[in-house]
Amino acid sequence: MLLWHGSRLTNFVGILSQGLRIAPPEAPATGYMFGKGVYFADLVSKSAQYCFTDRKNPVGFMLLSEVALGEVYELTKAKYIEKLPEGKHSTKGLGKKVPKKSDFVKWKDDVIVPCGKPVPSNVKDSELMYNEYIVYNTAQVKMQFLLKVRFHHKR
């Protein structure tokens, strides 16, 4: 699946030279809703939040990466994952709003590309507004596109 990843501008030097990395075990666990992994989204607006731009510094970078999700462990609320259940390869936090499935397209090698405006999902009891995808092995990620984005902040 082709998914979005947003990060601070200062993080991209490391990302481009060493690839996406997972926080080491000794790093604090705060801020990792589903454990230490690499986080992605199927809606650009979700990943854009992690660029941390503002009116003075409106330019950020975002990645579109091919992510091999394999068998997905689905959750409707935060759960810190140290080890996935047997047979699972990634975690998906199920959101209340999702891209419209009928707008999805297939890209090279049958890679699914989520497209379309957000629509309500069938998941009503989720604590998450948008889908989040987490992989715990960077070998499951193939960076494809780096986008330079100028954000227009209203205030």
The catalytic position among 66, 86, 127, 132 is 132
The verdict on whether 74 is a catalytic residue reads no
More confident residue, 23 or 21: 21
Q: Is residue 131 pLDDT above 90, yes or no? A: yes
Under 8 Å between Cβ of 149 and 115: no
Residue 23: predicted pLDDT: 84
Residue 109: which pLDDT band, with cuts at 50, 70 and 90?
A: confident
Joined together, the tokens standing for residue 144 give 């494809």
Burial of 89 (0-12, 13-18, 19+ CB in 10 A): middle
Distance, CA of 47 to CA of 53 (rounded, Å): 12
Q: Read out DSSP for 16-52?
A: HHH-S-PPPTTS--TT-TT-SSEEEBSSHHHHHGGG-
Where do the domains of the chain lie?
Answer: 2-150
Residue 24: predicted pLDDT: 77
CATH architecture for the domain at 2-150? Alpha-Beta Complex (3.90)
Q: What is the model's pTM? A: 0.93
pLDDT tens for residues 39-64? Answer: 999 999 999 999 999 989 999 999 99
How many Cβ atoms are within 10 Å of 124's Cβ, its own excluded?
8
Share the mean pLDDT of the chain: 93
Q: Who contacts 11 (Cβ-Cβ below 8 Å, separation ≥6)?
A: none
pLDDT tens for residues 70-94? Answer: 999 999 999 999 999 999 999 999 9
